[in-house]
Amino acid sequence: MFAFMIQCHDRFENVARLLRWIYHPEDLFVLAIDSNSMSPRQALLPFIDHPNVCVVDHHSVTWGGASMVDIALSSLRTALQSDSWRMFINISGSDIPLCSRKRMIEIFTEYENKGYRNFVSDFGAVQFAPIISESAYAGSEKLVSAPSGARIRLFGKICELLRDGATGTAGFTPVTTPALRSSFVTIENPFNREILCRPYAPFEIDVMQNLLDGNDIRIGRQWVALSRTMCEFLLKSQVIARVYAFLRSTFIPDESFFQTAAAIAPTKDVGQTLRNNLRYALGSPENISDAIFDKITKSESIFARKVNFAESSRILEWVDQRITERV
């Protein structure tokens, strides 16, 4: 029924706990492991030998860069080698399930009966409004800390997008202002986990517009649930390949790729898309703890993230009890 892609960066004991909750012999599990991770993987050993558990770990993943999309597409390709599933769901090692597998099947069946087969958060379209400079690397240069150990190096006019913030990351406005994310060129350097951000050179504009070919850039959360036919379309469509080529030069493309692709996909072939990914708070990185126990336990969502495991004993106990309903 399901193919779960689990993004694993570190803290593999949490990934193992998630697998204990959601593992089922009729589902497929693709563990997308960041090859940069230095965390010990022993906690995963009880699962890796299962025939329905695959590991994709050849990607060096840098927050904010195209590698976040690349590892998702690699996981899709791996999943499609199996015929055992109809719904692809991506989650992270800090997720918790909010319903049993039986209930999850009921939810997707109810939506499928209404014509919905894909579930993607979509906050709307943004315009391609490039910042242009004759000398892309000339002028100022700033280095900014980013999540997951990444660094962002800004050049020229892009430095003006940086606001001074207490954390050093919250003030980097494209994170909180998605309309800015395609306004400059993003180049990922996997060897030192840096993202280079510079203005567009004038000759690059026509190239980028041709790749986009009039399609809207759409923004949302990267967490999705997609039908098998949608996944096949994403990997075969030449239009999507061009959109991917455009988005891989933008900032945080994993929060644009599935939204943009879903808007392009032919509904008659892949089914309708609901602009809701069925995650608590649409999959935003909430601080999930016992302080919001009532909200979590009353939620109709299928997963929630990010869990503060040290402050969520009641929630974890509730999940343990809820998942015993699994069939």
pLDDT of residue 9: 77
Domain span at residue 208 reads: 141-212
State pTM to two decimals: 0.92
Range 123-129 average pLDDT = 93
Place of tokens 């800390």: 145
- Residue 13 pLDDT > 90: no
pLDDT of residue 169: 46
Q: Same domain for 49 and 154?
A: no
Q: Same domain for 97 and 202?
A: no
pLDDT digits (tens, 9 = 90+) for 271-323: 999 999 999 999 998 899 999 999 999 999 999 999 998 999 999 999 998 87
pLDDT of residue 39: 60
Range 93-108 average pLDDT = 95
Per the CB < 8 A criterion, the answer to whether 224 and 69 are in contact is: no
Query: Number of structural domains, the chain?
Result: 2
Q: What is the mean pLDDT of the chain?
A: 89
Place of tokens 């039986």: 102
pLDDT of residue 149: 78
Per the CB < 8 A criterion, the answer to whether 312 and 290 are in contact is: yes
pLDDT of residue 142: 86
- Residue 325 pLDDT > 70: no
pLDDT digits (tens, 9 = 90+) for 138-183: 678 888 888 777 888 889 888 877 554 434 444 555 666 788 899 9
Residue 42's pLDDT band, with cuts at 50, 70 and 90, is confident
Residue 273 lies in a domain: yes
Distance CA 294, CA 285 (A): 18
Q: Same domain for 247 and 201?
A: no
Closest Cα to residue 170, out of 285, 70, 307?
285
pLDDT digits (tens, 9 = 90+) for 245-262: 999 999 999 999 999 999
More confident of the two residues 157 and 124: 124
Classify residue 5 by burial, with Cβ atoms within 10 Å: 0-12, 13-18, 19+.
buried
Q: Same domain for 64 and 175?
A: no
Q: How many contiguous H segments (helices) and E segments (strands) does the chain have?
A: 12, 15
Residue 188 lies in a domain: yes
Q: Same domain for 173 and 239?
A: no
